[in-house]
Structure 1
Amino acid sequence: MKGRAGSKKEVAVGAGVTVEVQNLCRVFNDEGRGEIRAVDGVSFTCERGEIFGLLGANGAGKTSTLRILSTILQPTSGTARVMGYDVHSEPAKVRASLGFYTASTALYPRLTARETLVFFARINGVPERDVKGRVEELIESFGIGGYAEARVEKLSQGMKQKVSIARTLAHDPPVLILDEPSVGLDVLNAIEMQKVIGQLRDAGKTVVFSTHIMSEAEKLCDRIAIIHKGRILACDTLEGLRQSTGHRYLEDIFVSLVEQAYGRI
């Protein structure tokens, strides 16, 4: 993978839609708090070769939205499609079309990095004749070569994150969902992770990327959807958000949009 994390592109919406979300809702019932609308009428589309950022505070509905897209959660109402496949009626085809990364997804500690990638290539249906070549490609692309024979339990946190993202790409899906991929990383590893994400976009992947780190979204995302209390408050390029709110920095844009919708934070 080659490219730069900051080399954003102009997105021609409709030119290659890979993810479609329409009026998506997810309601939970909590014994103490009653009905909770974790996702409340969310709609957006994502394009091929785009980093689409889902930006919000913890508990804003980012993870619930991504879990619906990855078929882990069922929507209460609304629709979502990945590569044209419906998450409710065609979950197997959706899962074959995407890779889903979350920091809470554990790796097998006693497997080596190489064995991990081989395992996930096989369970994701990569033909046996292609497994070795695909694993070598991932090892080279993610810079894992010097650690390929080390057990996962011996790897640094940053290298574990790399292996974990690489294994979500074992079957070369067109769509990658990354839920807070920089959580727990130090500054240098976070920068390296951002480079990897930029390279995935440059390779033509759709990257749906959730974060609560404003600077990360500013640096990486071609378009940004700001979500709060389960609702999308705005969705545009960074420049578009700047023009519509009159603020330059995402932190100020975020606060402005939340205050417009809900009053003082």
Structure 2
Amino acid sequence: MYFPTFRSAAVHAAAALCLLTAATAPAFAAPIRNIVLVHGAFVGGAGWRPVYDILTRDGYQVTLVQEPLTSFNDDVTATRRVLDDLDGPAVLVGHSYGGAIITEAGNDDHVKALVYIAAHALDVGETEASNGKKYPNSTKAVIRTPDNFLYLNPADYPSDFAADLPRAQAEFEAHAQMPTSASVFTALIPDPAWKSKPSWYMVAKADKIINPDLERMYAARAHAHTVEIDGASHSVYESHPREVAALIEQAAQSAQ
């Protein structure tokens, strides 16, 4: 039997439902193309060059933060200045002390994922200094200047910071250090970004600056996607740029 009136009503209802679904369904997020790289203590942004070259070759827009290392607030401000200038979402990457910076600056709305490269991912009430006492590193003495800045003894820098880099490169970096305010190592973070944003973590298994077990603790606590690199020193971002870039790209693709 034919029911023209009922069928017509059903067709119209189905069409209306399709239009409603199309109007309310979320649009697919654009791929994350912005990568922001944050260096750690004692070094500048130039060490990121091997990673930068890979990421830009793969089509990413990469910006390096050159934080002044004069105070934690100054360094976070320098990072936020870069984030504020972006035209879309970003992956924020930090090495070493840079991890503390991205843990604070990562609350910025531009940031959709965090990547820690042998870096500090502090929780409320923690400092780099206090965690270093719980998980002692194996570096030799750090030198303090009369105005309360720190740097690594150049004689020990190659073995302590950059054991897997060519000796000549490590020695150059030892004499190109950026002295870092001692105050940054006691900075507190009230709202760690890793608690609300996805994170990725690279453990440098031969790190003498940050105890690898401390790195593992950070990664596990943040439920981070984690990789460990054999024989990698604290300079893992320079000595293993392909692996570092791959982890960053994984974060960019997964956090779309």
More strand by share: 1
Q: TM-score when scaled to structure 1?
A: 0.29
Choose 1 or 2 for highest CA Rg.
2
Q: TM-score when scaled to structure 2?
A: 0.30
- Higher RCO (CA 8 Å, separation ≥ 6 residues): 1
